[in-house]
Amino acid sequence: MHTVETVLLVLMLGALTGVASRYIRTIPLPLIQILLGAALSWPRQGLHIVFDPDLFLLLFIPPLLFADGWRIPKREFFALYRPILKLAFGLVLFTVVGLGYLIHWLIPEMPLTVAFALAAVVSPTDAVAVSAITRNLGMPSQTMRVLEGESLLNDASGLVALKFAIAATLTGLFSWTHVARDFIWIAFGGIGAGALIGWGFSVARDAVTRRLGDVAATQMALLLVLLPFAAYIVGDRLGVSGILAAVAAGVMTNFADLDRSEFVAERMQTEGTWTMVESAFNGAIFLLLGLQLPSIIGTPLREAGHQWWILAGYALAISSALLLLRWIWLTLGVQGSLWRAHAEGKLVEKPSYLLTLASTLAGIRGAVTLAGALSLPLLLNDGAPFPARDLLIFLATGTILFTLVIGTIGLPLVLKRMPPGGEPASAREERRARVAACKAAIASMVLGKEQAESVDPQWLAQYQESAGRLTQEYRKRIDLLEDPAPPATPEALAEAPDVVRQRRHRYVVELELRLKSLHVERNALYAERHEQRINDESLRSLVAELDLAEASLRKRLDVARRAAGLTGAHDSVKQDT
């Protein structure tokens, strides 16, 4: 099969499995895609793709890590930097040393440096798999931020550790001083290069869009998609971490976006483009991982014959030890930072043994682990085969499968036992921000005395009437969203809770009626097109206007239902339409 056909097939399967996962909710999407990939490549005449680790790291990893760096809430990321850094760097070092010696003890025929290489390969976690598994299961939001921050940084630290383990295997030389110096250069150099590239792009984009406005939104969205590849390539050419360069570019670009509130079209196109890119690339990654399984797992097991259980036992022991080391580090090395963050109000959820267990099971390995294992050289400097290379790849892949399966089974069980956390802090902040925005809008409509006296009286009357209606609409939203306050007047004291609840319910009904009206408008427009009264261009323009209105209205309706205690209520609009 040609390369183009293979790429198109993988993208199509990624989309189809995404649809299938909406029906098969008990199995996480990454596991579905891995199983499908394995099923396609298992037969001798099945789909077989040669996996190029360097090409894989260049094409798939930079945009996904850039998007993660762009999306992750920066306030929580920097507020929780202590536990994140301890996991991203301290845990990687703890894993490489502890697991490396354990592997060498367990498999004496594997040289110690190769054992360190295997430990380095399995040290990075996969945030994509974790978020897919924990979606709608109730993983505390700020704990999820810690796990996301860990996975953003530990890809680089794990691959750097792998680089030094390979160099020690090839040359037989190892120096902690040399490792520390190179690591600082690779890590901070990557962050600096990526931040500089992200800043340069932001300055150039501002120079263009401040002059042209939103007419260049499509081109800017395209350039933003290409930016992580540029950051990765530049970082790699400079000899620093291209992965950290992509992450830093995403973070820096997000900071620059905070000053671009007026570029609506660019923001909408960028959000839609990145959603599609992330979905396509995530699907491709796990499908490619599944496509490699039969050759990586099946072939060594068949060659082992009746001794296959020894290889399986090695994979099970190493995976279990990996999770045990993670639990130990979380308990002894990170727990203090989490308690400190909780005491300072930076971490809402209180550290507990269940939270530690959930964070341990969330240490799922993924595509970076496979890419790192397959990047091992075939030969040593003297031409001899790289020792235990096939065994290392087998064990790394077994670790991916084990952590993915144990996370799929264990995380839901643990998270269901955790006490409910009430209203998430992010939802509370969003609600209060909506109230602040409504109050700012009301304040902006008030005319000063000099302004009122300087305008035409007829226009002033029309303005005040319109402002009054709009203010009433904003006050409805404020009443729905504001935290309940102690009654300050006899009238407020006399107002029963049932009256407040009914008023909020009426507002929900009003929004549902508006949404139903939009549906009727859209159906009427399509009827006009079927009757040839308007053309396709007019239809697209009119329907796009209604689509934007509905997207906003659906969001407001969702917030209103939650505020009115109707989260699980039946959607009367869907029933009617």
Among left, alpha and beta (phi > 0; psi -120 to 50; other), residue 136 is left
What is the domain partition of the chain in residue ranges?
3-422, 423-483, 505-577
- The sign of the CA dihedral 206, 210, 212, 213 is positive
Paired with 379 in beta bridges are 385
Residue 229 is predicted with a pLDDT of: 95
Burial of 301 (0-12, 13-18, 19+ CB in 10 A): middle
Contacts of 446 (CB under 8 A, 6+ apart): none
What is the CATH number assigned to the segment(s) 3-422?
Answer: 1.20.1530.20
Q: Hey, how many other C-beta atoms are within 10 angstroms of the C-beta on 551?
A: 10
Residue 368 is predicted with a pLDDT of: 85
Distances in Å between the Cα of 335 and the Cα atoms of 5, 143, 328, 350 are 49, 12, 10, 11
Contacts of 483 (CB under 8 A, 6+ apart): 432
CB 121 within 8 A of CB 163: no
Residue 6 is predicted with a pLDDT of: 80
Measured distance CA(93)–CA(89) in Å, rounded: 6
CB 242 within 8 A of CB 235: yes
Measured distance CA(138)–CA(414) in Å, rounded: 10
Residue 123 is predicted with a pLDDT of: 94
Measured distance CA(330)–CA(314) in Å, rounded: 24
- The sign of the CA dihedral 106, 111, 113, 115 is negative
Phi first, then psi: what are they for 84, rounded to 5°? -65, -50
Question: pLDDT of the chain along its 577 residues, tens only?
Answer: 566 788 888 889 989 998 888 888 778 888 888 889 888 887 666 677 777 788 888 888 899 889 888 988 888 889 999 999 999 999 999 999 999 999 999 999 999 999 999 999 999 998 677 777 776 677 888 888 899 899 888 888 898 889 889 988 888 777 778 888 888 898 899 999 999 999 999 999 999 988 888 788 889 999 999 999 999 999 999 999 898 999 999 999 999 988 888 888 888 888 888 989 888 888 888 888 888 888 888 778 888 888 889 999 999 999 999 999 999 999 999 999 999 998 888 888 889 999 999 999 999 998 888 888 888 888 888 888 999 888 999 999 999 999 999 988 898 889 888 877 666 677 788 888 889 999 999 999 988 888 888 888 888 889 889 999 999 989 888 888 876 555 555 555 555 667 777 878 888 898 999 999 999 999 999 999 999 999 999 999 999 999 999 988 998 888 888 877 776 544 444 444 4
Residue 237 is predicted with a pLDDT of: 94
Contacts of 310 (CB under 8 A, 6+ apart): 304
Residue 252 is predicted with a pLDDT of: 94
Distances in Å between the Cα of 145 and the Cα atoms of 84, 346, 367 are 9, 12, 20
Burial of 493 (0-12, 13-18, 19+ CB in 10 A): exposed
